[in-house]
A and B are shown apart, each in its own frame.
Chain A
Amino acid sequence: MIEFRNVYKVYETGTRALNGVSLKIEDGEFVFLVGPSGSGKSTIIKILTAELQPTSGSVFVNGFTLEKIRRSAIPYMRRTLGIIFQDFRLIDNKSVYENVAFAMCVIGASEKEIKKRVPYVLELVGLENKSRRLPHELSGGEQQRVAIARALVNNPNMIIADEPTGNLDPARSLEIMMLLEQINALGTTVMVVTHENQLVDRFTKRVIAIDNGEVISDGMDGYFAYEEE
């Protein structure tokens, strides 16, 4: 579960990125976070991952209170999240298998656990036959699937996907969204940050719209509802 309570963020340059954002995402939900460039979406993600501290207000992420979190506790908070980026962020010299196993190594999983879990997750994202390939030998859609597998492998409470289809064609974008929907159906909370209205409207999901650092709509009415505001 994540919750923002009246969160403000003012950067050192004086830019007001968030103006009293309040929102709550319950466990098991699938949520789209939409808004134009500079609306405050990236700031929300950076606060969720503890890369930034809010100027004021409270943020709760899977049992951690972020404005009070100690630096040493941040890695443990991040382990409750699986993060997917627009540019995939895979390690070029590691194979598909190693890229996914790497995320388990980092949290101290045993060889045995890794050998059991990684093939399962690769199968879930449909890459069981490409585990030995290097990232540059894969298509954009496949690379994003590796990133999803890496985000999933530590069994996080929540997946945060930051523009996950930004570098993909419409067909691959739809595949990735369907995969995220499937992951959500297995019980993982999913938050997708995007500005692709057509894609959002293909799914009947909760859409939180943000603009000028404020939540301007929150409901099940799709992207167009936000555009009409």
Chain B
Amino acid sequence: MKKNNIGYLLREGIRSVFLHGFMSFAAIWVTVACLLIMGTFSLVLYNLNEIILELEKDNQVLVYIDETYSEAEAKSVGSQINMIANVHNAQFVSRQEALSAFVDEQQDEALFEGLEASTFRDRFVVSMEDNALMKQTCEDMKKIEGVADVEAHYEISEGFQMIQQILNIASMIIIAVLFVVSMLIISNTVKLAMYDRKEEISIMKMVGATNSFIRWPFVVEGFILGFTAAVLAFFLQWGLYNLLQMQIASIDTLNLFNMLPFVEVIELVAVCYGAVGFFVGIFGSLLSIRKFLKV
């Protein structure tokens, strides 16, 4: 591209956005709508994923210590448990604490008044970094000297993992479909704008314009449209998210569904919207112009 052309191409791209005001308006709002659908869906899935991760953390493993160990010896086993890479936290529960917790859980506490603490074992309540590695981590803990037994609910962990996988696959498919749909809609909208300028393009070709020279103003135009749509969609998404969060918080039955504050995902949303707006705008334009360059 010649230096003389850069200013002209940028000017033409910007001028074109305003010259084809209605088409630009339509393209921006169609993109905003697609981004909002895609964004809302992704954020709901993101929140569900976070909730599942939280629930997964509650699925803790109990590591029972050999009953011949004194409380001090039992506590010392904790350092070895904590050394295992996937162990997030190992909290010591003494026999006495285990007895109290057991009695508290019973409906008729009087029935267990005479129960000795020695009936129980010292134990560690272990939470994992990644529950997918629960089986292997339990095997590793069993090998530690002083560990008598490990009690884990693999089926709950596997259930969570399956739900997570299904959610991930479903979200990827739906996001991909919505992305392609957005791109095709933008491409068609830009194509309509280009059809309006078909004559101009054919004149440019006839006076000796190169394909890249013809493409640039449309790429600049696509970028402006995509970027404007991304900025609008970002702020609308922010508003919608907060609204949804307030609505959910006001309904008692949905207390379990504790949404993340928008500020925690703000960077992710900004980057994703920026990237999608950029790609959809520029590639939508490039996709549309191919046909018109075959003169």
Is A78 in contact with B19, judged by CB distance below 8 angstroms? no
Residue of B nearest to A112 (CB): B4
Residue of B nearest to A51 (CB): B295
Question: Which residues in B have their C-beta under 8 angstroms from that of A171?
Answer: none
Q: Interface segment, B56-64, B203-211, B243-251?
A: B203-211
Interface residue A107 (Cβ < 8 Å from any Cβ of B): yes
* Known pairs A51-B295, A106-B213, A109-B4; A150 contacts B208 (CB<8 A): no
Interface residue B5 (Cβ < 8 Å from any Cβ of A): yes
Partner of A108, one of B5, B202, B204, B211: B5
Interface residue B200 (Cβ < 8 Å from any Cβ of A): yes
Taken together as a complex, chains A and B put the C-alpha atoms of A103 and B206 apart, in Å, by: 9
* Known pairs A51-B295, A89-B199, A89-B203; A75 contacts B4 (CB<8 A): no
Is A91 in contact with B207, judged by CB distance below 8 angstroms? no
Is A91 in contact with B4, judged by CB distance below 8 angstroms? no
- Give the residue among A72, A76, A105 with the most B Cβ atoms within 10 A: A105
Interface residue A17 (Cβ < 8 Å from any Cβ of B): no
Is A110 in contact with B203, judged by CB distance below 8 angstroms? no
Interface residue A165 (Cβ < 8 Å from any Cβ of B): no
Is A106 in contact with B19, judged by CB distance below 8 angstroms? no
Partner of B4, one of A49, A111, A154: A111
- Give the residue among B2, B199, B208 with the most A Cβ atoms within 10 A: B208
Partner of B209, one of A49, A106, A111: A106
The binding surface of chain B is classed by DSSP as helix
Is B209 in contact with A75, judged by CB distance below 8 angstroms? yes
Closest Cβ of chain B to A185, distance in Å, is: 24
Question: Which residues in B have their C-beta under 8 angstroms from that of A91?
Answer: 199-200, 203
Closest Cβ of chain A to B149, distance in Å, is: 75
Give residues 159-190 of A contacting B (CB, 8 Å): none
Closest Cβ of chain A to B24, distance in Å, is: 15
Partner of B210, one of A75, A83, A89, A103: A75
Taken together as a complex, chains A and B put the C-alpha atoms of A75 and B8 apart, in Å, by: 19
Count of A-B residue pairs with CB < 8 Å: 50
* Known pairs A89-B203, A91-B200; A79 contacts B208 (CB<8 A): yes
Interface residue A93 (Cβ < 8 Å from any Cβ of B): yes
Chain B interface bracket (under 10, 10 to 19, 20 to 34, 35 or more): 10 to 19
Taken together as a complex, chains A and B put the C-alpha atoms of A154 and B206 apart, in Å, by: 12
Question: Which residues in B have their C-beta under 8 angstroms from that of A51?
Answer: 295
Is B207 in contact with A107, judged by CB distance below 8 angstroms? yes
Is B199 in contact with A93, judged by CB distance below 8 angstroms? no
Give residues 109-137 of A contacting B (CB, 8 Å): 109-111
Partner of A103, one of B5, B8, B200, B207: B207
Closest Cβ of chain B to A135, distance in Å, is: 12
Chain B 190-223 interface mask (CB, 8 Å, partner A; 1/0): 0000000001101111111111010000000000
Closest Cβ of chain B to A107, distance in Å, is: 6
Is B295 in contact with A154, judged by CB distance below 8 angstroms? no
Is B206 in contact with A49, judged by CB distance below 8 angstroms? yes
Question: Which residues in A have their C-beta under 8 angstroms from that of B202?
Answer: 89
Closest Cβ of chain A to B38, distance in Å, is: 36
Residue of B nearest to A114 (CB): B4
Taken together as a complex, chains A and B put the C-alpha atoms of A91 and B211 apart, in Å, by: 19
Residue of B nearest to A113 (CB): B4
Question: Which residues in B have their C-beta under 8 angstroms from that of A154?
Answer: 207-208
Residue of B nearest to A109 (CB): B4
Question: Which residues in A have their C-beta under 8 angstroms from that of B295?
Answer: 51
Chain B 258-294 interface mask (CB, 8 Å, partner A; 1/0): 0000000000000000000000000000000000000
Question: Which residues in B have their C-beta under 8 angstroms from that of A93?
Answer: 19
Closest Cβ of chain B to A121, distance in Å, is: 13
Question: Which residues in A have their C-beta under 8 angstroms from that of B208?
Answer: 75-79, 106-107, 154
Taking A76-B208, A91-B203 as known contacts, 18 extra A-B pairs with beta carbons closer than 8 A to each other, sorted by chain A number, are A75-B208, A75-B209, A77-B208, A78-B205, A78-B207, A89-B202, A91-B200, A102-B207, A105-B8, A106-B204, A106-B207, A106-B208, A107-B207, A107-B208, A107-B209, A108-B2, A108-B5, A110-B4
Ranked nearest first, the 5 interchain pairs of A and B with the lowest CB-CB distance are A79-B208, A108-B2, A78-B208, A106-B209, A103-B207
Q: B residues touching A (Cβ–Cβ < 8 Å)?
A: 2, 4-5, 8, 19, 199-200, 202-211, 213, 295
Pick 5 A–B contacts, CB within 8 A, sort by A: A89-B206, A91-B199, A106-B204, A107-B209, A108-B4
Q: A residues touching B (Cβ–Cβ < 8 Å)?
A: 49, 51, 72, 75-79, 83, 89, 91, 93, 102-103, 105-111, 150, 154
